[in-house]
Structure 1
Amino acid sequence: MPDWLTVIILGLIEGLTEFIPVSSTGHLLIAQRWLPRQSELFNIVIQSGAALALVPLFWKKFSGMAFGLGKAENRDLLMKLGTAFLITCVAGMAMKKMGLELPEDARPVAWATLIGGFVIFGVEAICKRRVLSDSLTWPIVIGVAVGQLIAMVFPGASRSGATIMIALLMGLSRPVATEFSFLLGVPTLLAAGGYELLKAFKDGEFATLNWFHVALGFVAAAVSAFVVVRWLIRFVQSHTFNGFAIYRVALGAALLLWLAR
């Protein structure tokens, strides 16, 4: 398979899976068992492409936080996003210094994918017996930040899956939980991409990187993420996440059977 096609496929996988509760990192690790492996820098940069795709979809929210701080709701959202992002950055950097990183092995991905499916089933069963609220409280904001940290350590946990499920468990409605998870993903993924780019520049890795391939993966991730998120925003208005749980259980079980051969 030509390299240009490989990076497009990986970009599409990243964009299609970054914002649905199935783990983009896990899917990229699995895909690169059969496709030529790309650098960690490549994976981080294409995540930034997926993140940027959300800006036009949530332009009203982002422009309000940038230019409409005279309104209390814009200030409130900015403070809550900033707090969750700051918690993620500080704790994430601390975990990196402690040596906690995503393992590059398919077995923990398979287990996390399988277990995550049952977690979604459980959360949805609990939510069925409760009245969910549209009120984004400060405890929920902190819980969502913890969800991002969980996804940093456990491949297959899914950043969006962990954050949305925690928000649901704490009583937030699906549409608001999904929107806040997506909004928080933009600065989180862009910061991760910027950090890795700066690190690569200092280490002299820029000269060895094929920027044409990076650009192809970046664009593929952005386009596919835009399509998926636009669909998912409408989907969560009237559907549960049980369909994604079924997918996770089936995929996790299939991977464990394949690895046991």
Structure 2
Amino acid sequence: MRGPSTPLRTHAYVLRLTPYAESDLIGQILTQDRGRISVVARGGRRSTKRGLVLLDYFLCLDLHLDYKNAGDLHAVREAALVEDHTALCSNLGSHLVASCCTELCLLAIQPEQPGERLFLLLRYLLRGLAAGQPSATSYLVFLAKLLKILGLGPPRDRCPGCGLGLTQGGVVHQGELWCSACVPLAQTQPVLDLASQTVLQTLFDRTPGQLRDEGLHTRPADPQLREALECLLLPHLSAPPKSLRQLREYLQRPR
């Protein structure tokens, strides 16, 4: 028996699409008002009805939903295009960063968890990439801001094991920054020196607009810092991101 529903209009980004039955689509979307929710677009795989053909990645959509209870599957009734960033697919670097960050949004929060700040972060990323900001640096900023949204940073300036100050930098281990005495160095563990720690603090402290005004998006991304941010974030995701390996391979290529 179908439960009652109420009309809901919200802006949203598609995080994941799954074909369902012969012609429907199941979508995980990030809304500005309700966080991550699940929707169904009846006939969305072949229908030409208004809106259903627009359900795709890298689009900001104005959705009209039949909203049920939290955790239910909500029906898409109409959709209008707000912003189209599908042109990012024509550039490999921008496409990989946009895809990976979209997947990170999916894995970072639980269904119905408040997601307005995450929605605005994804919008900022897509707009920045579309405006020509370097993909590697945009990814770096996204990682730092995502950690901050999740309440996971910046890393403490003291080792959680011995309590001593990290005056010589630190080793990323189990989602935190440790001194090398408590966590012996290994090739698989990224190390943050003091200079990288300073940049990391700046990424956390400044707003995206301030970072843009200070020209950070035009500077080369620090591979050491990127690896450290990934290691700080990954233990707190609901699953390993599938798109991360391909993005890492691209970012590690000689330029």
**Length-normalised TM-score, structure 2:** 0.25
Q: Which has the higher helix share?
A: 1
Higher-Rg structure is 2
Q: Which has the higher strand share?
A: 2
Relative contact order (alpha carbons < 8 A, sep ≥ 6): 1 or 2 greater?
1
